[in-house]
Structures are given as C-alpha cells and as structure tokens.
Amino acid sequence: MDKRIVLITGATSGIGLETARILHSNGYFIIATGRREEKLKALQTEFNNERIYTLCFDVRKRAEIRSNIDGLPEDWKKIDVLVNNAGNAHGMDLFQDGKWEDWEAMIDINIKGLVAVTEAVLPGMLNNKSGHIINVSSIAGQQAYPKGSLYCASKSAVSMITECLRIDLNQEGIKVSEIKPGMVETEFSLVRFKGDAERAKQVYKGVEPLTGKDVAEVIVYMIQAPKHVNIAEVLLMPLAQASATVFNRKS
C-alpha cells in the first residue's frame, strides 16, 4: 500500500482512538489530534513512535488549528483522509432549563470545530484532486429526542454540512461521507453528565451498546472502499436500539 495519511480529530478516546488503532495496524500513517497531550503521548508509545504524528489543539480555536496543520512537516502534509470525530454533548436538560455555556460548547465543538478543521485540511485535497472527508455525526442528527435540543441541532447541522460538501466537491475527486452512530459506550455520557459516573452508567443499563471499535470498523470500511465507491451515509445502531428513543432493555 502506498503511504496514506489519515488525520483524526478526537483521537485520544472512544471512536477516534479505535479508528487510529485499526488504521495504524493496517499500515496507515496517523495524524492524531486532541486536547489531552498526555493521551497523545500514550498513543505515540503504543504505536512505538512509528507512522504517527500528534497535534495537540482545541477544535474550538481556529488559529491553533491553522497553525498546527500549516506547520506539519512536508512528509506529513499530504492528508488523504480526514476523520472529523471530535464532538461532545454537554448537559441534558429541557430547553427551558438549558445552560448557555453548554449550548455554546456544543455549537463550538460539534459545528464550528468540524468546519474549522475541514477548512484547514481541504486546500491540500483540492490541490491533489483527491481525498476523503468522513464526518462522525449521530442518530440525534435525524431524530429529535427530549432534552437534546442543541445536541440534536448540532448533529443535524453536521449532516447538512456533509451533504452540501458532497455536492460542492463533486467535481474535485474528493469523497465525503457521514456515519451516524446510535448508542455507543465511550466517554460520551460521562462528559454529558459532568463526570457523574453513576448517571452515565444508567444510560447503558440493560442494553448492549455499540463500542468505539464497532464504529471504527465501519469508518475503516468506508476508507478502504474502491476508489469509485463512496459510502455516503451510514446509520449504525446496536441490535437493542430501534430509534433514538426506543430500546429493548433487559432487566
């Protein structure tokens, strides 16, 4: 396989980490990004410092993104695949009880962060007339649920941005894909509930959820599809989930 470089945001845990692991084991070169430098260093150690380059930045800070990506060494500049995985849910309240800081965090990370990273990476893909952008969205982007207004809205925005990108880049030889996971057990609920581990645990009670690796394997399948094939959109759920709000929970 020729040298193929994949940049993954939010690569220090969950879906992003598992995607990095599988791709690295398949010979890909990984640019892992995240806010937690110690986690990035641990990943470098795990990969024996081979075929990995790390960038520590916050996707909410556009200037940091541009500086880091523009400053990549020459042999790491040709990014073949961008996996926009970084994203968070903050709080779970009725709209009338919502907190501005939670809303702002979801808009800044889930929407503006994705746009800023894509904006920084895309010129290289346009210059090469090739590339693949994969946006990690959510079932929440197409099905509303109680107490999820801003999270659902942010993921719906990701879906529409993805669709528009696919149209805008149709003549440029660049694939654009979206994966919409249902329930996945990662740090997601722990972050949403501000570190309340017991409350986070209740989300998955009686259900066998997807794992980060389950989602990562589908992302890898998207990347490895033949050149003429673009897997544009995937909705991925555990067997026990029928919709955003319907689950077969075992006691």
pLDDT tens digits for 19-49?
999 999 999 999 999 999 999 999 999 999 9
| Per-residue b or e along 151-165, where b marks 16 or more CB atoms closer than 10 Å to that residue's CB | bbbbbbbbbebbeeb
Encode pLDDT of 194-237 as tens digits. Answer: 787 888 788 899 999 999 999 999 999 999 999 999 999 999 99
Q: Of these residues, 28, 145, 151, 204, which one is catalytic?
A: 151
Q: Say how far apart CA 73 and CA 20 lie, in whole Å.
A: 20
Q: Say if CB 78 and CB 94 are below 8 A apart.
A: no
Residues in the chain: 251
Q: What is the pLDDT of residue 231?
A: 98
Please provide the distance, in angstroms rounded to a whole number, between the alpha carbons at the two ends of the chain: 48
Encode pLDDT of 146-200 as tens digits. Answer: 999 999 999 999 999 999 999 999 999 999 999 999 999 987 777 777 787 888 7
Question: CA-CA distances (angstroms) from residue 208 to 15, 77, 80, 121, 238?
Answer: 16, 40, 34, 36, 7
∠ CA 114-115-121 to the nearest 5 degrees? 90
The model carries a pTM of 0.95
Q: What is the pLDDT of residue 1?
A: 53
Residue 2 has pLDDT above 90, yes or no: no
Domains of the chain by start residue, with CATH: 5-236 (3.40.50.720)
Encode pLDDT of 55-110 as tens digits. Answer: 999 999 999 999 999 999 999 999 999 999 999 999 999 999 999 999 999 999 99
Sheet of strand 174-181: strand arrangement = 52-56, 29-34, 5-8, 81-84, 131-136, 174-181, 233-236
Q: Is 28 a catalytic residue?
A: no
Residue 139 has pLDDT above 70, yes or no: yes
Q: What is the pLDDT of residue 188?
A: 73
Q: Say how far apart CA 200 and CA 222 lie, in whole Å.
A: 30
